[in-house]
Structure formats: C-alpha cells, structure tokens
C-alpha cells in the first residue's frame, strides 16, 4: 500500500501510540482488500458505547481506554485514547434510561452505557445514538468520502447523498476516527458505483409499505450488486427512501442504488450505468408485489399479536406524528404493547410537539437509542409481533424466536387496539 509522508509518520508513532495502532489496523485491513492507498475521510459513524459483557470486562480491567484499544483498534497494548481526529458520531446502541421498567434490558448495561457516553463525549464523539444519523443533522455531501457502518445508514449515504462509504465495522470506524483515513476500495472508486441491474416498476409505488416491499424485492434480486430502479415510482419522501434502502440491505446486501432523476449520481438511466450497456429490465408488477408480501408474512402463524413495533430504521418526526394521530383518543388492547423507536433528538421534538403525550396516553411507548434487534430485547412474554418495517420482519424472528406480521402503519396500529392481526395486501 502506498502511504503519504503524513500517513507513514502516524504509523511510526509521531502522533502517539493510539494513532499508530489505528494506522497499523488500517494498513492491514487495506492490504487484505488489495487497496493501494487510503482515502481522507471527515465523517465517521461507528460504535464505541454499545454495552456488552466483553466490554464490561475490559472496562473493569483497564477502563474505556482499554475497551477502545481492544475492540476498536484490535490492539492489546495499554494506551491512552486521544480526542477523535475527525467528526465522529455514535450510531444506535443499547437502550437508554427511558427503557428502565419498560424493556427487559439490564440496568447495569444502561449505567455502563452512560459511563461510556461521558468518556467518548469528552473525546469528541457526538452521541447521536441512532441508526439514522442523517435524520438528526449528520449530512455528508456528494462525493465526500466517509466511514460509516450500519447497513441502512450506509446505503442511504451512498445512494441518497452520493457520499462514498463501504459498510465498515467497529474496528475500521474506530481507526478512521483517530486518523481521518480509510482504505480506498469498493464504493470509494468510480467504477464500482455504476448500476449492475435494471428494475422496471410496472405499478404505482407511492406509500411507505410499497417502498419497503420494492426494496425487499430488489435486494433479493441483486444481492450485493447495484440496482437501478425506473418506472412508476413518483417522488419518494425521506422515509420512503430510508425504508427502501433498509429493506434492500436486509434481503440482499445492497450498499448503493440509483433512481434516475432522483438520486444524485443518476441524472438519467444511461448515466447510472456509466459507459456500460443498459441491461434488460427485470419487471416488478402485481405478481412480484404479492410474492414479497407473502414472504414477509410467512413467519406469522398465530393472529394474536402481543407486541407492535414501529420505527425501523428509527422513525422520522413525521412518522411519530402519524402514529400519534392514529392513536389519538383510543386505548391499546390490554395484552398488546406498542413501541415506536426514534432518535433521542427527535424524541425531544415529539415531546415538545405533544406527540409523546398522545402516544403514552393510549398506552404506547416512545423509546430511544436502540431497537429490539440491536438490544435483543422485546416486551416480556412476546410471542407474536407486528411491524411496518420489512427489516425487522426479516430479522427479529431469527434474533428473538418470535413470529412476525408485516403491514401498513394502520394495520399495525389496529392490531395494537384489537390484539389481533387482520392486515392484508390492498
């Protein structure tokens, strides 16, 4: 790997042992990927504060310096962690204090996480605590190299902003935060950003449910390649694009998509494919839509719903408002719980706007920082859950061993009122 003079100096210890360890990790990582150089990054979204038994043991042995060295830098040395070199944010983590008494999540982890936030906050980590950092002010620009992890955040950054990142991990984002560098390969390179498959949408895709199902179809079709989607798609909202990307990253491993005329690197279909010929289109019509809906609802048997989950990826403030309107003046079924997952910053807006009060008066909960998949925590006794998230319907049955129903926000809210699933494809 070719290194600049500054990079060689960092590797040699000119900026301290933690930065040297970070450079050592990035060089090993880059060489394993056949990257010939490093990219400059000025925006890192990673994780340091997520509690775990292993992290608790490391903190007990040597404090948060030790935990960061081992987990984020792959280094066993006792080194002091300096302030982050470039703007860095914490993605979603474990549940926060608002979960105590609600989610069966260890209070010791809540306390450990609070301690971590104090440590990393002093070192320049912005504790956004959300899988949607772009919903609370972290907005990279087109062409900017960044180092993000979390599949739904990565596909949004690449596709909607035109920023450039691979789906990084805990260690590579930790090293990037101390150096402002990441191996230059994959999505950082022009020739890897052109489309690979063309999908022609042959029925109107207008609402949140349809964008999720289309994303799930596309991800299953292309796996880790780059879909270009044309046809009757209208103008999607932020939540639609978030839902589409998260679903495509769940059923496949999509990190970049193009919507010609909408996403920034695809002014036309031809531009989305660069100099390559435009491939024959794969159609998405009523039959494919029905197949996706049935696949996502193949993990439900009992119609008795005891848990409704909304907000994955984390809900926008408009989604919170929609939930509040749907719950206004009503009361949830006595045997059913409803959680809506939001970024903490948007919870503050929901509180001030009165949405939280409406949701809680109906018996629902607005929770922050995490989600059941991330924290492996659902209401005690949950056997069957309903969600408007294709991502959670895909993952949660395997993670928590519970049944799943997938549908619209209205279907889910109705299940929360009746305790029964009655959703259907309309």
- The pair of structure tokens assigned to 355 is 């949405």
For the chain, what's the residue count?
Answer: 426
Residue 258 forms part of a structural domain: yes
Whole-number Å distance between alpha carbons of 151 and 230: 23
Choose one of 247, 274, 295: the last residue of a domain. Answer: 295
Q: 329: exposed, middle or buried (C-beta count within 10 Å: 0-12, 13-18, 19+)?
A: exposed
Residue 423 forms part of a structural domain: no
Dihedral angle sign, alpha carbons of residues 217, 220, 222, 227 = positive
Q: How many structural domains compose the chain?
A: 3
Residue 142 forms part of a structural domain: yes
The answer to whether residues 120 and 213 belong to one domain is no
User: Under the phi-then-psi rule, with left for phi > 0, alpha for psi from -120 to 50, and beta for the rest, what region is 239?
Assistant: alpha
The answer to whether the CB of 152 falls within 8 A of the CB of 252 is: no
The answer to whether the CB of 218 falls within 8 A of the CB of 252 is: yes
CATH number for the domain spanning 360: value is: 3.30.499.10
The answer to whether the CB of 339 falls within 8 A of the CB of 128 is: no
The answer to whether residues 272 and 304 belong to one domain is no
Per-residue pLDDT of the chain (426 residues; tens, 9 = 90+): 999 999 999 999 999 999 999 999 999 999 999 999 999 999 999 999 999 999 999 999 999 999 999 999 999 999 999 999 999 999 999 998 888 999 999 999 999 999 999 999 999 999 999 999 999 999 999 999 999 999 999 999 999 999 999 999 999 999 999 999 999 999 999 999 999 999 999 999 989 999 999 999 999 999 999 999 999 999 999 999 999 999 999 999 999 999 999 999 999 999 999 989 999 999 999 999 999 999 999 998 999 999 999 999 999 999 999 999 999 999 999 999 999 999 999 999 999 999 999 999 999 999 999 999 999 999 999 999 999 999 999 999 999 999 999 999 999 999 999 999 999 999
Whole-number Å distance between alpha carbons of 12 and 374: 37
**Which residue is associated with the tokens 């772009």?**
134
CA 404 to chain centre: 20
Q: Angle at Cα 359 formed by Cα 358 and Cα 363, nearest 5°? A: 115
Q: Specify the pLDDT at position 300.
A: 86
The answer to whether residues 263 and 277 belong to one domain is yes
Residue 60's contacts (CB-CB under 8 Å, 6 or more residues apart) are: none
Strands (E) across 154-295 are located at 181-183, 197-201, 227-231, 282-284
The answer to whether residues 169 and 68 belong to one domain is yes
The answer to whether residues 290 and 321 belong to one domain is no
Q: How many CB atoms lie within 10 A of CB 1?
A: 17
Whole-number Å distance between alpha carbons of 259 and 262: 5
Q: Specify the pLDDT at position 219.
A: 98
Q: Specify the pLDDT at position 150.
A: 96
Q: Specify the pLDDT at position 239.
A: 95
The answer to whether the CB of 154 falls within 8 A of the CB of 165 is: yes
Residue 425 forms part of a structural domain: no
Residue 173 forms part of a structural domain: yes
Q: Which domain holds residue 109?
A: 5-190
CATH number for the domain spanning 15: value is: 3.30.499
Q: Specify the pLDDT at position 13.
A: 98
User: Under the phi-then-psi rule, with left for phi > 0, alpha for psi from -120 to 50, and beta for the rest, what region is 90?
Assistant: beta
The answer to whether residues 213 and 307 belong to one domain is no
The answer to whether residues 260 and 395 belong to one domain is no
The answer to whether residues 306 and 407 belong to one domain is yes
The answer to whether residues 135 and 15 belong to one domain is yes
Residue 285 forms part of a structural domain: yes
Whole-number Å distance between alpha carbons of 227 and 50: 32
Residue 24 forms part of a structural domain: yes
The answer to whether residues 361 and 235 belong to one domain is no
Question: Terminal CA-to-CA distance of the chain, rounded, Å?
Answer: 55
Whole-number Å distance between alpha carbons of 337 and 189: 46
Whole-number Å distance between alpha carbons of 358 and 319: 14
Residue 424 forms part of a structural domain: no
Choose one of 295, 314, 334: the last residue of a domain. Answer: 295
The answer to whether residues 30 and 108 belong to one domain is yes
The answer to whether the CB of 367 falls within 8 A of the CB of 98 is: yes
The answer to whether the CB of 83 falls within 8 A of the CB of 71 is: no
The answer to whether residues 284 and 329 belong to one domain is no
Choose one of 280, 295, 310: the last residue of a domain. Answer: 295
Q: Specify the pLDDT at position 84.
A: 98
């Amino acid at each position: 790997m070719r290194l600049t003079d500054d990079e060689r100096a960092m590797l040699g210890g000119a900026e301290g042992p933690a930065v040297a360890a970070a450079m050592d990790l990035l060089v090993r990582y880059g060489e394993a990927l056949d990257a010939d150089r490093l990219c400059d990054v000025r925006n890192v979204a990673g994780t340091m504060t997520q509690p775990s038994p292993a992290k608790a043991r490391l903190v007990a042995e040597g404090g948060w310096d030790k935990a960061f060295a081992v987990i984020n830098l792959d280094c066993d040395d006792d080194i002091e962690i300096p302030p982050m070199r470039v703007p860095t944010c914490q993605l979603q983590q474990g549940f926060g204090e608002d979960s105590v008494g609600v989610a069966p999540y260890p209070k010791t982890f809540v306390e450990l996480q609070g301690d971590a936030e104090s440590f990393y906050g002093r070192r320049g980590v912005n504790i956004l605590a959300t899988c949607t950092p772009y919903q609370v002010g972290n907005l990279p620009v087109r062409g900017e190299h960044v180092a993000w992890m979390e599949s739904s955040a990565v596909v949004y950054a690449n596709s909607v902003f035109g920023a450039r990142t691979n789906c990084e991990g805990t260690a590579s984002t930790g090293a990037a935060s101390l150096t402002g560098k990441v191996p230059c390969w994959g999505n950082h390179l022009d020739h890897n950003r052109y489309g690979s498959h063309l999908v022609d949408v042959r029925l109107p895709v207008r609402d949140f449910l349809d964008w999720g199902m289309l994303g799930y179809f596309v991800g299953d079709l292309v796996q880790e390649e780059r879909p270009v989607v044309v046809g009757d798609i209208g103008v999607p909202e932020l939540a639609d694009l978030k839902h589409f990307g998260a679903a495509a990253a769940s059923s496949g491993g999509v990190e970049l998509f193009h919507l010609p005329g909408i996403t920034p690197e695809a002014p036309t279909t031809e531009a989305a494919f660069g100099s390559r010929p435009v491939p024959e289109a794969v159609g998405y019509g009523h039959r494919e839509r029905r197949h996706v809906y049935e696949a996502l609802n193949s993990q439900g048997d009992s119609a008795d719903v005891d848990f409704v989950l909304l907000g994955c990826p984390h809900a926008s403030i408009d989604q919170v408002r929609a939930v509040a309107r749907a719950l206004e003046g009503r009361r949830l079924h006595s045997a059913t719980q409803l959680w809506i997952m939001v970024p903490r910053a948007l919870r503050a807006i929901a509180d001030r706007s009165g949405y939280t009060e409406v949701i809680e008066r109906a018996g629902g909960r607005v929770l922050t920082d995490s989600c059941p998949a991330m924290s492996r925590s659902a209401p005690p006794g949950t056997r069957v859950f309903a969600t408007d998230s294709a991502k959670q319907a895909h993952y949660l049955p395997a993670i928590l061993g519970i049944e799943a129903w997938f549908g619209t926000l209205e279907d889910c809210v109705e299940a929360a009122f009746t305790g029964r699933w009655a959703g259907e494809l309309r």
